[in-house]
Amino acid sequence: MADLHSVASQLVESGRGILAADESVKTMSTRLTAEGIEVSKQARRDYRELLLTAPGLAETITGVILSDETFNDSLADGQPFPQACRDRGLLPGIKVDTGTSPLPKGNGATITEGLDGLGGRLADYAAKGASFAKWRAVIDVQNTSEYARDANAHALARYAALCQDNGIVPVVEPEVMCDGGHDLDACAEVTAATLVAVFDQLDRQRVDPSGMVLKPNMVTPGLKAEQVPAETVASATIQVLSSSVSTDVPGITFLSGGHSNETACDYLGAINDHAGSAPWSLSYSFGRALVSDALHTWHGDPGQTEAAQVALLANCRRASAAGRRRSMASGATN
């Protein structure tokens, strides 16, 4: 069975991060439509192939999270996606949650689904080459409650324990949404309470923190609120993480949450500047902040594939530079 700690450490190696290219069929189809691209399985495949085959992607990316559709699909030349990842020096990952539903009696909060039969699915993904998996819980600042946080934390820990039992590194994603007009303090309070609940459940359910990766939001005001300097985001984020995250976790890879590449990278750079002696590698697992420009540039036109890859690689390089700021400042090597 895989050495979970060594795979988790590989995923968060300094200066590289994880590419989240795991939008569900529904979400990916919505994004294609928004760009005026005709929706089809072929379009989704061509787009994911474009991302994965960007020349030198592994210089800034350690692993790629795939959706079930892509994971079980092949490149145009017939090579299965997981193998195509490995051949390019990228660890293949798989999103295993099946989305959110209203949480019963949750007053508008959601619960993430996908636990039924998950052990069998993970065994199958592992046999097909998956090194890591992702599960996203969604916490909305407007309608959160202790109940909603605990229910989602419990499901995240069930998922993480099942992953580790199947030799797969869990990427644990409790996302406090950036949508809305809440201020920085509200995000900090909800993020801290969520992470405390998550680590309590991980501990109760015997998840080894040294064999997982945490994928949280950065602590920011809501996207509709007045924004604050990157240094303020950084110190709030480090403070929240320091009060809630196990020191045995090898690395934290932030999601981008609707922030642009430039903003998300500014925040990540400042977080690394402020990290001091924090025990974790602080890196990225951005989706939109890495891929949106590539999708826009590609526009479904095979003639634009190379230009789209250039756009993706530029965004990855900016994130990688932000991730390296800490090691340049402190000499840290993890």
The smaller minimum CB distance to ligand 13P, of residues 14 and 112, is found at: 112
Question: Contact at 8 Å (CB) between 333 and 77?
Answer: no
**Which three-class secondary structure state does DSSP give residue 113?**
coil
User: Residues, the chain, total?
Assistant: 334
The smaller minimum CB distance to ligand 13P, of residues 34 and 329, is found at: 34
To the nearest whole angstrom, how small is the minimum distance from the Cβ of residue 207 to ligand 13P?
A: 19
Q: How many residues bind ligand 13P (CB under 6 A)?
A: 10
Extended beta strands in the chain, E state:
17-21, 61-66, 91-95, 100-102, 110-112, 132-139, 169-176, 213-214, 251-254, 281-284
Question: Contact at 8 Å (CB) between 250 and 210?
Answer: yes
The smaller minimum CB distance to ligand 13P, of residues 99 and 129, is found at: 99
Between vectors from CA 69 to CA 65 and to CA 71, what angle results, nearest 5°? 45
Residue 67 lies near ligand 13P (rule: CB under 6 A): no
Q: Which of 255, 268, 308, 311 binds ligand 13P (CB under 6 A)?
A: 255
Tell me which residues in 124-153 interact with ligand 13P (CB under 6 A).
136
Backbone angles phi, psi at 76, to 5 degrees: -55, -30
Catalytic site residue 59? Answer: no
Mark the segment that binds ligand 13P (CB under 6 A) among 77-85, 191-199, 250-258, 300-308.
250-258
The smaller minimum CB distance to ligand 13P, of residues 82 and 257, is found at: 257
Backbone angles phi, psi at 190, to 5 degrees: -70, -40
Tell me which residues in 256-275 interact with ligand 13P (CB under 6 A).
256-257
Given the rule CB under 6 A, which residues bind ligand 13P? 20, 136, 173, 255-257, 286-289
Which of the residues are catalytic? 173, 215
